[in-house]
Structure 1
């Protein structure tokens, strides 16, 4: 596949019940909470993976839209996020990938076998990691996922401060909010969504990260290496108006990804599933149709 071979399509099937069911499951002593929209066991199921500090509300518009098109969805809060238990702001990428595998297991236990992963930003990173670890994942969709976070998050002064703070944090534990690095208005073109995110205290608490977690994001994550180890069909989506992450980050992932792969741009910011929900759903459903036909 190349950048030009994936055309957005829209399902025209009959209306379905898109009402969500709240759910809970456990992973290594952590209670994880989520929402399931099961419309047809024979249809594909998309597990939706959130960004840093976000929770299931982030995917409510997209989950509702996909359900009306006959796609099952499961969204959940990682440990330390939303309603789930676990220490706020202290997790590793492996922790979140493991939570995702537990969510996939929950879906399969309830008869949802045709599982695809869709994640934005951090969620895209986790989709790539979990997709590589589960041989039965049918495909991965990663939007606005970074290749190397430090390349755009850390200016030279911030890089110096980070290198000083990292060893000090082993003596004096510290937490630094991601919000110090960028404004919510950089994430979305929609001021209403920016306001809702800003007022959500659950998000604010979950975005105060430990230095352990910053080290995971800034030093451990190597996007091109991770996606090169992924041997599943992968769709990469980039918001054309992303004021937080440069599009070149997605380009690096696309270059390193294995076939079959596709790359699409969308008229949206860093949160395209909120800025352009219908168009984002077009891309997802078009992708599902393409790889399952």
Structure 2
């Protein structure tokens, strides 16, 4: 459980265009450490974690890391991205807008656990080419957005999405849909339960986190059922105590493409550890209304080879929905259904659904 030295490291900025910024992260911790960044100090009556703050400084940046997620020429993708920033909960959120000048529907996209919007750059670019304006969102504490790295509750992330929706409706008009992958799919699901302004949703994976059956999504559900009450107490006492995400996610179940997983793990902007408060929130947050009362049209995407979200679990939640709906099984795909190897199968039904429901 020993941490590495506290030497700062320079992380190139991933701006879509030439940029002179870099991130300084202090310190760098081993990916395999169970407890990451456990170096708290008592100050002013509360425990503060000072090890994961980041600041932008002027430095020459090399080739952007996010290009590794692309199959398309990065120069072509960069040409259509406009970076925007909005305020949410007193923090500055970073958005990648794959812009269109026509009256196209706007699709908001929510990344999965630990990820940022440009982890999905190839998918977002190809969705843009299908005739949509696409907004990739870095939620608070993720990617290029402000906030302590990985520190959130589900309710706070839903509030982030609400604020981005407000911005999108005011900027582009009312035809706004939402999609997300993995935890991002769950957040998209929660977003439509919270906000009827969203006209349509495509959720890759769904869950009701406040229901006991959601522990099936973890690598050790029986153990977690036993220790979860202790986790709630620990999260109250040490909310920013960080645990590796691989404690409850088995990396071998994520993808059959090791290069994709390696790219994610080595990405300086992805999160390999989360505070206890964030982990516990994922086991107790309820949607804003019962899912049977959601009215927004929803497509649920499910990968045939998904080894994290069981098919019967997602199908049971889908069957409870009374809104216009569709369930689409993506053949031959693993959990990373929006990764380049599977886009030819996952993108067409998603785009068709948004055309049908958003006009």
Alignment pair present for 1:212 and 2:277: yes
Determine the C-alpha separation between the residues in 1 that align with 2:287 and 2:90. 29
Determine the C-alpha separation between the residues in 1 that align with 2:138 and 2:358. 28
Alignment pair present for 1:239 and 2:303: yes
After superposition, residues 1-293 of structure 1 pair within 5 angstroms as: 19-147=80-208, 148-153=213-218, 154-173=220-239, 174-204=241-271, 207-221=272-286, 226-267=290-331, 268-274=333-339, 275-292=341-358
CA displacement, residues 187-207 of structure 1 (integer Å, 9 cap, x when unaligned)? 223222111011113213xx4
- Following superposition, the deviation at residue 230 of structure 1 comes to 1.6
Structure 1 280/18 Cα, relative in aligned 2: closer, same or farther at 3 Å? farther
Determine the C-alpha separation between the residues in 2 that align with 1:279 and 1:74. 22
Task: Mark the runs of 5 or more structure 2 residues left unpaired by the alignment.
Answer: 1-76
Task: Mark the runs of 5 or more structure 1 residues left unpaired by the alignment.
Answer: 1-15
Determine the C-alpha separation between the residues in 2 that align with 1:266 and 1:40. 32
User: Any conservation in 2 of the 1:239–1:269 contact (CA below 8 Å)?
Assistant: yes
Q: For 1:170, what is the secondary structure of its paired residue?
A: helix
Q: CA RMSD in A?
A: 2.3
Query: How many residues in Structure 1 have an aligned counterpart in Structure 2?
Result: 275
Q: Which has the higher helix share?
A: 1
Determine the C-alpha separation between the residues in 1 that align with 2:261 and 2:169. 35
Structure 1 286/175 Cα, relative in aligned 2: closer, same or farther at 3 Å? same
Determine the C-alpha separation between the residues in 2 that align with 1:164 and 1:292. 45
- Give the TM-score normalised by the residue count of structure 2: 0.71
User: Any conservation in 1 of the 2:105–2:358 contact (CA below 8 Å)?
Assistant: no
User: Any conservation in 1 of the 2:110–2:136 contact (CA below 8 Å)?
Assistant: yes
User: Any conservation in 1 of the 2:300–2:327 contact (CA below 8 Å)?
Assistant: yes
Determine the C-alpha separation between the residues in 2 that align with 1:222 and 1:249. 17
Determine the C-alpha separation between the residues in 2 that align with 1:172 and 1:280. 40
User: Any conservation in 2 of the 1:65–1:278 contact (CA below 8 Å)?
Assistant: no
- Give the TM-score normalised by the residue count of structure 1: 0.86
- Following superposition, the deviation at residue 72 of structure 1 comes to 0.9
Highest CA radius of gyration, 1 or 2? 2
Determine the C-alpha separation between the residues in 2 that align with 1:165 and 1:288. 40
Q: For 1:201, what is the secondary structure of its paired residue?
A: coil
